[in-house]
Amino acid sequence: MITANVTGKLAFDARVLKTKTGKAMTSARMACNDNDGATLWVDLLAFDLNAEWLSRCAKGDRVSAMGTLKLNQWQDKRTGESKECLQLVVDNMLSNAPKPRKQSSQKTKTAPASKPVATQPSDPFKGGSDIDENALPF
């Protein structure tokens, strides 16, 4: 098992899916630059609260995700060609999308806070990018 932390930009809007058992799942594809400037593609797969959070992300959003990294290999059904991709099953993530809150078992309704949240100057999603914006296909 490889635990990894990857940071990059989403190449497409996140897709919300359901497992065979009805569990919420979200997938997305992230473009990451390595130290040599080459773009690495990582497929993200998130469940439960992380799935809800990832579902709020869109193409071009900067995301940092930590989880279990593995190499998926399969054969293309149309061409019979062998294919592979890096896949990260998300345990924890950061993005510029607001994190959803866990559903409480109580049925009392509370009004959401109306105060705007101030962005801190150390926001990792504002400037200071290591990714070469011109190398990404979006």
- Please give the mean pLDDT across all residues of the chain: 80
pLDDT class of 89 with cuts at 50, 70, 90: very high
Domain ranges of the chain: 2-96
Residues whose CB falls within 8 Å of the CB of residue 99, separated by 6 or more in sequence, listed in order: 53
**What is the rounded distance in angstroms from the CA atom of residue 126 to the CA atom of residue 96?**
9
Least confident piece of the model among 6-10, 12-16, 92-96, 99-103: 99-103
Give the global pTM. 0.65
Q: Which CATH class is domain 2-96?
A: mainly beta
Judged against a pLDDT cut of 80, whether residue 107 lies above it is answered with: no
- Contact 46/53 with Cβ under 8 angstroms? yes
**What is the rounded distance in angstroms from the CA atom of residue 52 to the CA atom of residue 62?**
16
Tokens coding 95: 């993005």
Which of 132, 54, 52, 37 is CA-nearest to residue 88? 54
